[in-house]
């Protein structure tokens, strides 16, 4: 039995049932006074620098330019129609906005679809999440948007392996940026399974 379904997630699922796709919420403003735009004290991570880290060698990583088209192709083969391309997913470069709610919507829909054994919705939401992350312009002042997603995927109940794999590969692909955030370092310490997955994937 599926309980505690978010109203927005349920609405997206209903939309998918009728149209074969769904719309996600618009990104939220990062202006001062908004929940996502509060300034925070900058801290310097005590983690060692990674030196000559070259993620281009990670040819098994989902976000590697040679691998990503194959991942999209594999997922699209399982869908009856190609997903719509939304502006929030193709141009997530405006630092005035937080895309955390966009990411979370896709992730929560994926978890709902997994629990409901709804394969087509599960595949679509995974595709849309990967697409959103691919076009997200990550920088050290935007890592909090990824950390919230990591907490959802690795700390909350009902963890989904597909989501964890996508987030693990995204973190590894952007590890130099992520390691500048002490909140990420604390998350690694708090969640050994995430720490193990990240550092193992860095050398595979």
Q: Per the domain annotation, does 40 fall within a domain?
A: no
Predicted confidence at residue 80, as pLDDT, reads 81
pTM of the model: 0.85
Question: Mean pLDDT throughout 176-191?
Answer: 95
In a domain, 35, yes or no: no
Pair 106, 24: CB distance under 8 Å: yes
Total number of domains constituting the chain: 1
Which residue is associated with the tokens 């987030």?
167
Q: For residue 130, what are the domain limits?
A: 7-24+55-202
Q: Looking at the chain, how many residues does it have?
A: 204
> Is 38 inside any structural domain?
no
pLDDT cut 70: percent of the chain above it:
82
Q: Is the pLDDT of residue 162 over 70?
A: yes
Instruction: Give the three-state DSSP class for 73.
Output: helix
What pLDDT, on the 0 to 100 scale, is given for residue 29? 82
- Is the residue at 49 inside a domain? no
Residue 37 forms part of a structural domain: no
Residue at 180 is within a domain: yes
In a domain, 34, yes or no: no
The per-residue b/e assignment along 18-39, b for 16 or more CB within 10 angstroms, e otherwise, is: eebbbebeebbebeeeeebeee
Residue 36, domain member (yes or no)? no
Grade residue 146 by pLDDT with cuts at 50, 70 and 90. Answer: very high
The more confident residue out of 161 and 84 is: 161
Burial of 145 (0-12, 13-18, 19+ CB in 10 A): buried
Q: Which of 204, 191, 193, 101 is nearest to 148 (CA)?
A: 101
Alpha-carbon torsion (9, 100, 63, 72), positive or negative: positive
- Nearest 10 degrees: CA dihedral of 105, 109, 111, 116? 160
Distance CA 143, CA 175 (A): 11
Residue 22 has pLDDT above 90, yes or no: yes
What is the arithmetic mean of pLDDT over 26-39?
Answer: 59
Pick 42 or 30 by higher pLDDT.
30
Residue 53 has pLDDT above 70, yes or no: no
């Amino acid at each position: 039995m599926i309980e505690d379904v978010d109203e927005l997630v349920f609405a997206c699922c209903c939309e998918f049932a009728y149209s074969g796709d769904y719309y996600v919420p618009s990104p939220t403003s990062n202006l001062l006074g908004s929940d996502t735009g509060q300034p925070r004290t900058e801290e310097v991570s005590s983690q060692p620098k990674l030196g000559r880290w070259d993620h281009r060698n990670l040819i098994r990583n989902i976000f590697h330019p040679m691998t990503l088209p194959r991942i999209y192709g594999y997922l699209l083969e399982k869908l009856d129609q190609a997903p719509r391309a939304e502006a929030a997913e193709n141009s997530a470069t405006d630092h005035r906005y937080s895309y955390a709610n966009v990411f979370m919507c896709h992730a929560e829909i994926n978890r709902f679809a997994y629990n409901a054994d709804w394969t087509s919705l599960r595949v679509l939401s995974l595709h849309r999440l990967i697409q959103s992350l691919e076009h997200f312009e990550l920088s050290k002042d935007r890592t909090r948007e990824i950390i919230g997603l990591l907490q959802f995927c690795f700390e909350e109940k009902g963890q989904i392996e597909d989501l964890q794999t996508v987030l693990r590969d995204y973190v590894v692909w952007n590890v130099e940026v992520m390691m500048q955030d002490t909140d990420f370092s604390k998350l690694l310490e708090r969640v050994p399974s995430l720490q193990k997955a990240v550092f193992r994937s860095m050398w595979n």
